[in-house]
Structures are given as C-alpha cells and as structure tokens.
Chains A and B, each alone.
Chain A
Amino acid sequence: MQFGFLLEQVVNGLVLGGYYLLIALGLSLIFSVGGIVNLAHGAFYALGAYISVEITKYLGFGSAVVLSPVAVALLGILFERFILRRFYDADPILSLLVTFALTMVTEQAIRIIWGAPPISAAIPQALRGSVFLGDFLFSRYRLLILAVVAVVLLGVWLLLHKTSFGRVVRAGIQRPDMVAALGIRLQPYMTAIVMLGVGMAALGGAFFAPITIVHPAMGAEIITVAFVVVVIGGLGSFWGVVIAALLVGVVRGITIHFAPAAGEASIYVLMFLVLMVRPRGLLGERIEKFE
C-alpha cells in the first residue's frame, strides 16, 4: 500500500522534473554556447505564460501553447542581437547585471501592460481530471506536459547530435577559436540557441499558466529552481541537466511524502550534497570561463 503511494510520488516527481527541465535546459544551453548566465530566463518564462493566456482568449489553448513560445523565441532574436551579443567575451559579472536588469524591466513591463494583480487562466475542460491505472493516479494534464517534454527533449537531442547545426554548436562549445579558424561564424548559431532556449522557457510558462498563478513575479520563482537544477546537473551538460531535473522532482515528491515541512528545503539539501561530492555538478565538465 505504502509502496504504491510512494511510486505515485516518484512518477509525479518525474513529471514535475520534466517541467523544470524545459526551463533549465535552455538556461544551460545558453550558458554553454555563449558563456552567459541568463538571469532573464525567468522573465521569458513569465512572458510565455502571459502571452499564452492572451492567445487562449482568442484562439484557444492549443494554439496558445504553440504560438506563445514562437512569439517569445522571436523576442529572443532581439534579445540576442541587441543585448547578449555585447557580452560574450566580457566579464561574466556584466552579463549577470544586464540580464538581471532585464528581468526587472520585463517584470515592470508586465505590470504596466497586464496590471499587478494576477490574471486568470484555466485548463480546457477536456484535459481536466485524473487518469487511473489500477490504483495509480496521474493528472491527465501533467501527462500531456510529460509527453510534450519528451518530444522537446528528443528534438533538442537530435538537433544537437544528428545535424550539422548541432555539430557546429557542440564544436563551438568545446573550441570556439577552432570553429572560428575554420571560417564558421558562430554568431547565427548563437542567435538560434538563444531562440531555442527562451522558446523552451516560454513553452514551460504556457503549460504552467493554467495550473499556477500567473503574476508578474512568476519568473523569479521559477528561475531559482532552474538554477538549482543546472548547478546539480553540471553547467553545460545536456544529460546532467536532464538527470538533475528528474532527480529534483522525485526528491521533492518523496520528501513531501515523508516530511512535508522539509519539502521546499529538500532540493537545496540535494544541491548541497551533490556539490560536496562533485563541485562541478553530476556530469559537469571543467568550466574554463570560471575556473
């Protein structure tokens, strides 16, 4: 009996972890390629949520979860072209400050456009309720999120490992100078990676808008967890981030099952333990920019 419920928590944790993954993977990619810790990542997540709620009003939820990430990815082009590009070779402190400032600007912009009180959003009726597998229970909506995350994950992996685009990006991560020497401009690749990263964050925002509160500071809430995931997984490691995200979700679920009060603290304890044993994170490589 107890085991069954525990397994339920594990599966639920995996789903939640999958959702963290959407946000953390983009963060990790942008860091790997550009060496930029994008504190504004949460702001794109919030924009994704707000824009999807707007689109849902006119075109329905299905269109919203597609169009909102696309719209935010397009904003990502501007973000890369006019802001990030200036900081690839600069002191990391500068990019931290700039992206942090952008977070505040975006949050304020959201307040001006949509107002400070949260806006309302709901799941379409068809996606509500739980699915039972024997005595096992899953939220129908979260299963959908899990499926979407799996597809996105597969897509990103294929893009990075099976296409020429991915080869250049991976080479750019390892040896940017060598790529440059071969006459390949990394610039357009960087634009594409930023688009992809912030688009994924927006996708996360669009999917979570119906089940969490949509308010101007929502980005700041998610960015903390995303950072914990990236740090546990190891900056710049694809599978590290995947494993860390799932681990964070599962550890949180199990902790809440046994010791509810420690639920939120559990992921920080996990981060602490991992960093004690492996300061670079689970699968992290040596980080030249920082070491």
Chain B
Amino acid sequence: MTRFSRRTLLKAGAAFAGVSAIGSPAIVRAQAARIKIGHLVPLTGFLGAIGSYAQLGVKMAAEEINASGGIIGKQIDLMSEDSVNPATASTKAQRMIEQDGAVLLFGEISSASSLTIMQVAERNKKVFFSTGARSDALRGKDCNRYSFHCDIPNTVMVNAVGTALKQKGMVKGKKFVTLTADYIFGHDLLKAAKAFFSANEATLIGDELIATDVTDFSPYLLKVRQAKPDVVCCNLAGNQVTNLVKQYAEFGFPYPLIGFNLNTGDAWAMGEGNLSGTWPTVWYHTLDNPASKTFVDAFSKKYGKPPENHAWIEYITLKMIAQAITETKSTESDALIAYFEKQAQFDIMKARKAYFRSWDHQLVQEAYPFTVKPKGEMKDKWDMLVLGEAVPAAGADLETIYPTKAQNPCNMKA
C-alpha cells in the first residue's frame, strides 16, 4: 500500500517535471517578449507620503498600456520599489539594470537620490527619467546624456510664485526670511530664491537650514519672529512643508507665509484652515482640459481619491516612454535618446504640449502658481487650491521661465 502510493507520487512527480520541462521554454520565450522597466520612488521617510501617490500613478499607466496590448506587442514588466535614500536608490538601480534586465529606469522624488541614479544610468548607458526631482543642478552642472528631467526645476518654481508675488506687490523692498531643507534640493532652491530676491530688490534678512528629519519647528518659528520679516518663505520639501505650515498656523504669526515648493499631497495633509499664501505647482487635478479630466476620473474611480501631482507625472512619463518605444520600435538607449532629443511633442494633459529640450533634457512645460480656496468654497477636502494663470502667459515662449543656456551650466559628454 505504502509502496504503491509512493510510486504514484513518483509518477506524478515525473509527469510534473516533464510538463515543466516542456513548458519552461515557452515561459522563457514569454519573458523575453516583455519589456522590463525599473521604477524607484521613496515610500518611506519625509517624501514617502507623496511617493505613495507616484506609485499609484505608475501602476495605473502600466496597467492601461498592458491592457491595450502593450508596447510594440510586448507587455510591460514594471518593477516598482522603495528607494528609501540615495545609497539604496543607486544600489537598487544598479541591480535593476544588471540582474533584473531593466531596459530603462524612471522615478524618484528626492534630488539627492535622483543624482545617484543618474550616475548609475550614465555608467551603464541606460536611460533614466527623473520624474519628481527639482534641483536645478541635476539638469545643470550634474547633467548627463542618459538622464531626462520631467518635473519643473527650482528656478521655474521660483519664477512661477515670484511672478504672482510681484503682481501683489510682495517683493520689491520687502524683507524675507527663508526656511530651507538642508540637502541638495533645498540648497539649490535657496540659490534660485536668492537670485530672484536680488533681481527684484528684496532683502533676505534670515535664512535657516533645517534637517529633513525635523518634525517640530517651534524653535525656528521663534527665530522667525525675532527677525520680524515682511514675508516668510518656505523652501522645504515633503513632510517638512506640512509640519511647518501646521505649526505656522498654530503660532498665528502676522507675517504672510509663502513657498517656492509644494506638492499637493503635502497640502492635502495639512488640515483645514492651515494653509494660506502663494505656492507653485506643476499640475493639479482641477486643470480644465479633456485629457486631464479623463485621467482624473479614471484614477479617482480606481483608487477612491484624486491623483496628486506625482501620480500625474509618473503616469505621463510612462506614457511618454511608451510613445518613444513605439515610434522608434526600440528599447536601445541611443535610439531613445535620439528620439527625445528631436524635441518630440508630448500631450501631458496641459493646454500646451511639452517637449524635452535637446541640450539639457529638461521637459519644457507650463507651471502654475496657486492660492488657497476660502473654507466655505471647497467641494471636498481635495478641492483646496485655486490655480492662477499658467506661466509663462499664453502666447509667450514656454522656455522663457526656464534657465537659459547661459544660466544653465549643462555640458553633456557625447
């Protein structure tokens, strides 16, 4: 009895082995017919909250592409992981290229992590789309041929808010205090802010560098009051912005608080009545155009909340990548770079189409300043911002708000 059942078991095992032996070549073929794409975004730490939106956006784009038959007949294999910090980001990027066979990489919000991935991309000659990093340096002195930059750079954010502030008479002759995130992004943003202040006759009377893990800002706020500025300017990132704005409202200072960087995910986390002032954004879910509305409806239906700007940027980036692979019928780095450097136009759900500038690989697109809706006028908790007029103004050349060749020290090695 025992022997019999053991024999049956052996037979079944052999049969199974046989099936898998025959089956496996088919599986291998199927894998070869997939396009592997690596995606990294911080899901933990001070950028984790907005990173989680980014991941939802990219998942939706990949599912849509695969449902419609994939790219050049191949399904996308999306590998999406938590980049945690710059060291982990570069290690994972390296692994995705070397071991997992990623044909290209994209993602990231932290400028520091993005910089390390850019180096990995260059070393391995693979294309990397930096989706959410805003430091000017990445597309300036640190630029390289394999890296593309989708989000607006710091200079554009400063210009977007600065233009709105100038119209309100809040710049000329005013005293500013800045609170700045103490890493590459913040330093870079402060530099852009300083350039703006000095070009517009404003003075910077106080400047605090704040570590990214700070959650209590009260000692800094006391210093702000000591300086007695006309305007307080927030150059922080991620969770820091949320915490600062909440505590700024708590202390109830009379000085207006504005900022050169904000992601709507951080604004949503602030709670009622805390946010005021003028801020920049790259996209918002109430933008009035058909493509944007279709995307917002699909996303809201799928996830039960509207997309944040990082969800949008990951979504359009994967779509741009898909368009490039379809047009070039290739996943080779050189073919893709050539395609993007032709300054191909992309519909990114804004009034004007966008393109990557050939010489610094910056996605040239509109940006928007926004202010906060009065409490009674919000439809729901996500409906808290009033978008200002797009910058640059309609009719003006998109590139007018971006650093010029003379201002942007990007020198790509061929």
- Which positions 174-224 of chain A face chain B at CB distance < 8 Å? 210-215, 217, 221
- A117 and B268 contacting across the interface, CB-CB below 8 Å: yes
- A137 and B242 contacting across the interface, CB-CB below 8 Å: no
- B222 and A261 contacting across the interface, CB-CB below 8 Å: no
On chain A, the residues within 8 Å of B252 by CB distance are 128-130
A8-B222, A253-B219, A257-B219 known; A117+B269 contact, CB < 8 A: yes
Kindly state whether residue A122 has any CB partner on chain B within 8 Å: yes
Measured CB to CB, the closest approach of chain A to B162, in angstroms, equals 25
Q: How many residues of A contact B (CB 8 A)?
A: 40
Sorted nearest first, the 5 A-B pairs with minimum C-beta distance are A122-B271, A129-B252, A118-B269, A116-B52, A120-B271
- A212 and B215 contacting across the interface, CB-CB below 8 Å: yes
- A263 and B381 contacting across the interface, CB-CB below 8 Å: no
Q: How far is the CA of A8 from the CA of B252 in the complex (A)?
A: 16
Kindly state whether residue B251 has any CB partner on chain A within 8 Å: yes
- B223 and A256 contacting across the interface, CB-CB below 8 Å: yes
| Per-position binary interface string of chain A over residues 127-145, scored 1 when its CB falls under 8 Å from any chain B CB and 0 otherwise | 0111000000101011000
- A261 and B271 contacting across the interface, CB-CB below 8 Å: no
- A122 and B273 contacting across the interface, CB-CB below 8 Å: yes
Kindly state whether residue B344 has any CB partner on chain A within 8 Å: no
Kindly state whether residue A123 has any CB partner on chain B within 8 Å: yes
Kindly state whether residue B220 has any CB partner on chain A within 8 Å: yes
Q: How far is the CA of A141 from the CA of B210 in the complex (A)?
A: 23
Q: Which of A118, A128, A264 contacts B250 (CB 8 A)?
A: A128
Since A15-B218, A116-B43, A123-B250 are in contact, a sample of 8 more A-B pairs with Cβ atoms closer than 8 Å, ordered by chain A residue number, is: A9-B222, A117-B308, A120-B270, A142-B218, A213-B243, A214-B269, A260-B208, A261-B211
Kindly state whether residue B65 has any CB partner on chain A within 8 Å: no
- A16 and B216 contacting across the interface, CB-CB below 8 Å: yes
The interface of chain A, by Cβ under 8 A from chain B, is: 5, 8-9, 12-13, 15-16, 115-123, 125, 128-130, 137, 139, 141-142, 210-215, 217, 221, 252-253, 256-257, 260-261, 263-264
Measured CB to CB, the closest approach of chain B to A141, in angstroms, equals 5
The interface of chain B, by Cβ under 8 A from chain A, is: 43-45, 48-50, 52-53, 182, 208-211, 213-216, 218-220, 222-223, 225-226, 239, 242-243, 246-247, 249-253, 265, 268-274, 305, 308, 381
A118-B242, A263-B211 known; A211+B222 contact, CB < 8 A: no
On chain A, the residues within 8 Å of B381 by CB distance are 120
On chain B, the residues within 8 Å of A13 by CB distance are 219
Q: Whose C-beta in chain B lies nearest to the C-beta of A216?
A: B48
Select the residue from B219, B242, B247, B249 with max chain A CB neighbours within 10 A. Answer: B219
A9-B219, A122-B274 known; A129+B251 contact, CB < 8 A: yes
A137-B225, A213-B243, A260-B208 known; A123+B219 contact, CB < 8 A: no
- A260 and B220 contacting across the interface, CB-CB below 8 Å: yes
On chain B, the residues within 8 Å of A212 by CB distance are 215-216, 243, 246-247
- B269 and A120 contacting across the interface, CB-CB below 8 Å: yes
On chain A, the residues within 8 Å of B272 by CB distance are 120, 122
Q: How far is the CA of A117 from the CA of B242 in the complex (A)?
A: 12
Q: How far is the CA of A119 from the CA of B50 in the complex (A)?
A: 12
Select the residue from B218, B268, B308 with max chain A CB neighbours within 10 A. Answer: B218
Q: Which of A16, A122, A129, A264 contacts B218 (CB 8 A)?
A: A16
- A210 and B265 contacting across the interface, CB-CB below 8 Å: no
On chain B, the residues within 8 Å of A256 by CB distance are 219-220, 223
A120-B269, A263-B211 known; A257+B223 contact, CB < 8 A: yes
- A116 and B49 contacting across the interface, CB-CB below 8 Å: yes
